[in-house]
């Protein structure tokens, strides 16, 4: 009930308050084309934890306007950013599909957050972006649906301040699948996340889907930290 109330309040604020770009404060938009172009461009991300994981890409570095956009959307409740960020993910996934000769049909799986964090943010923030991306991809002739099938189980702590190995230990066995929400067998799956730091979330989420016989073809994140 409380999370629905927060979401309703956030949605009302989006309607009543004038939009300003989170990057440069220009009026009339949540994320102007100039700032969107400053994400940095699609890039491959490498981390020691990845091992034999699927290829991981990010739209930009977690810094500057990109960092401000992610934090404004995720932590400050600026839900209007879901549409432009989802559109940028869709553009990137179209490019990846063509470059890697993949099938033009996708199931998008948003990376999970801890239940407490999701309640504080008024819902699963990556699921909203995934739905926006799916609309964009489908409109472009690439049939795409969303499977919000992952959750973070009890016992996972806040990962701030943890080393890469501690982050992995924190999440190992705690990223769980919801069987009734899985993509169909044989589906081409893209795992979506907001920030790749050590890669622990990506690694554990991909492992959970692989264990459910829904292997991930591509991981795509809004941003990644350096290194």
The CA distance from 157 to 160, in Å, is: 9
- Residue 30 pLDDT class (50, 70, 90 cuts): confident
Predicted pLDDT at 9 = 44
How many distinct structural domains can be found in the chain? 1
The CA distance from 50 to 215, in Å, is: 14
> 196: domain range?
2-224
CATH classification at residue 101: 3.40.50
Best CA proximity match to 192, nearest among 139, 128, 122: 128
What is the DSSP secondary structure assignment for residue 31, as one 8-state letter? Answer: S
pLDDT, tens digit, 9 for 90 and up, residues 40-98: 789 999 999 998 889 999 999 999 999 999 999 988 888 899 999 999 999 999 999 99
The structure tokens listed for 114 are 């801890």
Burial class of residue 209 (count of CB atoms within 10 Å of its CB; 0-12, 13-18, 19+): buried
pLDDT > 70 fraction of the chain, expressed in percent and rounded: 87
The CA distance from 120 to 126, in Å, is: 14
pLDDT, tens digit, 9 for 90 and up, residues 109-150: 999 976 555 555 555 789 999 999 999 999 999 999 999 999
What is 80-97 written as a DSSP string? GGHHHHHHHHHHHHHHHH
What is the DSSP secondary structure assignment for residue 225, as one 8-state letter? Answer: -
pLDDT higher than 60, residue 169: yes
* 3-state helix/strand/coil string of 159-200: CCCCCHHHHHHHHCCCEEECHHHCCCCCCCEEEEEEEECCCH
The CA distance from 220 to 202, in Å, is: 10
């Amino acid at each position: 009930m409380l999370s629905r109330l927060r979401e309703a309040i956030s949605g009302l604020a989006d309607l009543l308050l004038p939009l300003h770009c989170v990057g440069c404060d220009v009026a009339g938009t949540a994320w102007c084309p100039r700032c969107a172009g400053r994400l940095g461009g699609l890039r491959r991300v490498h981390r020691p934890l990845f091992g034999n994981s699927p290829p991981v890409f990010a739209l930009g570095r977690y810094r500057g306007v990109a960092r401000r956009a992610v934090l404004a959307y995720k932590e400050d409740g600026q839900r209007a950013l879901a549409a432009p960020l989802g559109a940028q993910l869709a553009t990137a996934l179209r490019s990846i599909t063509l470059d890697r000769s993949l099938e033009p049909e996708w199931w998008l799986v948003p990376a999970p957050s801890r239940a407490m964090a999701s309640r504080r943010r008024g819902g699963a923030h990556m699921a909203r972006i995934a739905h926006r991306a799916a609309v964009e991809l489908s409109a472009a002739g690439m049939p795409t649906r969303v499977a919000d099938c992952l959750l973070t189980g009890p016992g996972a702590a806040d990962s701030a301040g943890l080393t890469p190995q501690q982050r992995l230990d924190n999440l190992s066995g705690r990223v769980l699948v919801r069987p009734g929400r899985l993509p169909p067998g044989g589906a081409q799956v893209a795992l979506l996340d907001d920030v790749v730091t050590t890669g622990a979330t990506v690694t554990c989420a991909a492992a959970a889907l692989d264990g459910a016989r829904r292997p991930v073809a591509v991981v795509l994140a809004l941003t990644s930290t350096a290194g």
